[in-house]
Chain A
Amino acid sequence: MRIPPFLTQRLAISCMWIITALTLGVLIFVVAYILYHGLPLLTWTFLSEAPRSMGREGGVLPMIVGTLWCTALAVLVAAPVGVATAIYLTEYTREGRLTNIIRFGADCLAGIPSIIFGLFGFVFFVITLGMGFSILAGSLTLAIMVLPTIIRTAEEAIRRVPQSYRDVSYGLGSTRWQMVTRVVLRSALPGICTGIVLSVGRCVSETAAVMLTAGAALGFPRSALESSRTLALHFYILSREGISMPLAFATASVLILAILIINLSAYWLMRRFVTKVV
């Protein structure tokens, strides 16, 4: 017996709705589970104190500071390089062997797992360049890790700038560089920012790479050359070594809230960008 096509269609579509609903259910569950257990423990003292007795008590201020240091440094290094790469690829050269090689490099870099970045950062920054376990080594490793994201989003954003903008700018007598900085970059800015914000998110949530490069020191980092534990790593250690479940939940809810804020702002930037261009 043949099943009539409209019935198959109805079946298939309902299956896909169920699948999508389940997926969204997982997301809601993960966020709700962490926030439900963590938010009640999220107090001002937790955010403003240093941990005591290996993290059994106290707060996470040094980890917040360490995470901010690592993320900020990584983005400060990766953003200019990534945007410059995107400008070069779109405005300063023709498509050819060289652009293919550059894109191949970025695409491959994007696929490399974070643990490999960690191994590399450990042997290159920590040992060969003598930085030791430090925020600097961690953030340079993270910078290489997020570079492809920034390149790709910046390139897409720049490509979406209408050709007429460039023509008008040239028509008014500007040089290429003036055209790029005053016209193209300005209208591609929200798109570029989206990429940067997403990279911030990746830096905040990264664990494996920073574990092998920034170390796991509990103290308050005084300079970029000191080791510091990031929030994600702190959460990992707290929960894996069973040091303190309540504090692990509280740390996780800080992480989740940060990621929610970061992703929402990336989304907001992206929408603004799309409506503006269209």
Chain B
Amino acid sequence: MKKEKIISLVLLLMALSAISSLAVITFFIFHEGLPIIFKVGLGGFLLSDQWYPTEGSFGILGMIVGSLAVTAGALIIGVVFGLGCAVLLTQFCPPRLVAIIKPSIELLAGIPSVVYGFIGVSILVPFIRDSFGGPGLSVLAASIVLGVMVLPTITSISVDALQAVPRTYREGSIALGATEWQTTHMVIFKAARSGIVAAVILGMGRAIGETMAVIMVAGNPIGMPHGLLDPVRTLTSNIALEMGYSAGDHRKALFATGVVLFVIIMILNTIALAVSRRRAGKVLAQ
């Protein structure tokens, strides 16, 4: 019996590793980043787009706007394509094809982000430059590349949500004379809504957090983007680009950029978790 107790204790300690890593990560990122935010002032840090770290001005508004713009673009593509695939896979596709399509979409998630960035910069960027003008390295290019990258996340979580809808809903609706498509968008979609919302939010988190692919296709200038064809710098690329040669306050300001990114991601995570937990509660209640 004593042995069992020890085993249980060891397992508990291991189980606490995830939450304690999270705590340590939070502590170190804030510990490194917060002082400079207080030094510059929250307003000066978040509401200025003057990022000249060697001269002591650390404004990241341009990058916040950049991250949001790129993420919004990515979501439009990711949601349309991701949900389209998910609905097709769960409602209208013969099982034999599902067995091929679903793993292929998962494979899309496995491809390294640098490869996406590379394809983006060698094909997409010249294409945008030639057909729409501008430098090619742009919000548009970053949105398209990120859209493809978040698509698998949105698809796989939405597939789970759509499959969790009880069969009886579908049968009831068909029996009332609705077509399969009416059933899908009026009944099944509504029943799976919270799962789909969670999928979109998690996709959003992935888009905001992606780094290498964005660096390669976004151009990364300092300042505010003004249009779809303007190059843009995001929070993540700011960190990755300058970490290598930064020191002192500059390095701390990069950690502060990380703090902002971290806070955004944690808010998104918490919303996604709360939404999907509500769904779990509802299903149990039925």
Q: Which residues of A contact B (CB under 8 A)?
A: 5-6, 8-9, 12-13, 15-17, 19-20, 22-24, 26-27, 29-31, 33-34, 80-81, 84-85, 87-89, 92-93, 101-102, 104-109, 111-120, 122-124, 128, 144, 147-148, 151, 175-177, 198, 201, 204-208, 211-212, 232-233, 235-236, 239-240, 248, 252, 255-256, 259-260, 262-263, 267
Q: Are A208 and B211 within 8 A (Cβ)?
A: yes
For A15, the chain B residues whose CB sits under 8 A away are 84
For residue B142, CB closer than 8 A to chain A, the reply is no
Given contact pairs A6-B179, A85-B14, A122-B243, A109 touches B22 in the complex (Cβ within 8 A)? yes
B115 and A256: CB pair below 8 A? yes
Task: Tell me which of B23-31, B52-60, B129-137 binds A.
Answer: B23-31
> In the complex the two chains form, is A119's CB within 8 Å of B29's CB?
yes
Closest 6 A/B residue pairs (Cβ): A113-B209, A105-B19, A205-B112, A19-B84, A84-B14, A9-B181
From A29, A212, A232, B243 is in contact (CB under 8 Å) with: A212
> Least Cβ distance of B11 to chain A in Å?
4
| Alpha-carbon distance A5/B123, docked complex (angstroms) | 41
Q: Of B11, B110, B258, which contacts A201 at CB under 8 A?
A: B110
Encoded as 1 (CB less than 8 Å from any A CB) or 0, chain B from 216 to 238 comes to 10000000000000000000100
Closest-by-CB residue of A relative to B235 is A115
Contact of A120 with B25 in the complex, beta carbons under 8 Å = yes
On whether the beta carbons of A177 and B4 are closer than 8 Å, the reply is yes
The B interface, classified by DSSP as helix, strand, loop or mixed, is helix
Q: A15-B84, A111-B268, A112-B262 are in contact. Are A34 and B21 (CB under 8 A)?
A: no
Q: Assuming the A-B contacts A105-B18, A123-B32, A207-B114, are A177 and B3 also in contact, with contact meaning beta carbons closer than 8 angstroms in the complex?
A: yes
Interface residues of B in 33-54 (CB under 8 A from A): none
Interchain nearest-CB distance for A149 vs B (Å): 11
Interface of A is mostly: helix
B residues 242-277 near A (Cβ < 8 Å) are 243, 254-255, 258, 261-262, 265-266, 268-270, 272-273
B255 touching A123, Cβ below 8 Å = yes
Asked if residues A115 and B211 are in contact (CB atoms below 8 Å), the reply is yes
B17 at the interface (CB under 8 A from A): yes
Partner of A255, one of B12, B112, B184: B112
In the complex, are the beta carbons of B216 and A19 less than 8 A apart? no
Tell me whether A13 and B148 are in contact (CB under 8 A).
no
- Report if A175-B4 is in contact (Cβ < 8 Å); known contacts: A22-B81, A85-B15, A112-B209: yes
Q: Mark B184-223, 1 if CB is under 8 A from A, else 0.
A: 1100000000000000001001101111100110000000
Are A116 and B262 in contact (CB-based, < 8 A)? yes
A12 and B18 contacting across the interface, CB-CB below 8 Å:
no
Q: Find out whether the CB atom of B18 lies under 8 angstroms from the CB atom of A147.
A: yes
Residue on A with the closest CB to B112?
A205
| Given known contacts A9-B182, A20-B84, A147-B21, A112 and B265 CB-to-CB distance under 8 angstroms | yes
- Ordered by A's residue number, 25 sampled pairs between the chains whose C-beta atoms are within 8 Å are A12-B185, A13-B92, A16-B84, A22-B81, A23-B151, A34-B119, A84-B10, A84-B15, A85-B11, A85-B15, A88-B15, A102-B15, A104-B19, A106-B19, A112-B25, A116-B29, A119-B29, A119-B254, A120-B28, A205-B113, A207-B211, A208-B240, A211-B240, A236-B216, A263-B110
Q: A8-B181, A248-B118 are in contact. Are A108 and B22 (CB under 8 A)?
A: yes
The answer to whether the Cβ of B68 comes within 8 Å of any Cβ in the partner chain is no
Contact of B114 among A85, A89, A128, A232 (CB under 8 A): A232
| Cβ–Cβ contact B24 & A34, under 8 A | no
Closest to A37 in B: B122
Q: Chain A's nearest CB lies how many Å from the CB of B262?
A: 6
CB pair A115 B209 closer than 8 Å:
yes
Interchain CB contact (< 8 A) of B258 among A29, A30, A92, A115: A115
Q: Give bound CA distance, A106 to B19, whole Å.
A: 7
In the assembled complex, B171 has its CB within 8 A of some CB on chain A: no
Known: A124-B24, A262-B110. A111 touches B14 (CB 8 A): no
A114 partner residues in chain B, CB cutoff 8 A: 209, 211
**Cβ contacts under 8 Å, B16 to chain A:** 102
In the docked arrangement, what's the CA distance between A122 and B85, Å? Answer: 39
Please tell me if the beta carbons of A81 and B14 are within 8 angstroms of each other in the complex: yes
The answer to whether B88 and A16 have CB atoms under 8 Å apart is: yes
A230 to chain B, nearest CB (A): 10
**A117–B262 alpha-carbon span in the complex (Å):** 10
Q: Is the CB of A34 within 8 A of B115?
A: yes
Which residues on A sit within 8 Å (CB–CB) of B272? 111
List of B residues within 8 angstroms of A208 by Cβ: 211-212, 236, 240
What is the chain B residue whose CB lies nearest that of A19? Answer: B84
Partner of A27, one of B14, B17, B92, B104: B104
- CB contact under 8 A between A144 and B116, given known A9-B179, A112-B262, A176-B4: no
Complex Cα distance, B18 from A8, in Å, reads: 48
- B114 and A119 form a contact (CB under 8 A): no
Closest-CB distance, A6 to chain B (whole angstroms): 6
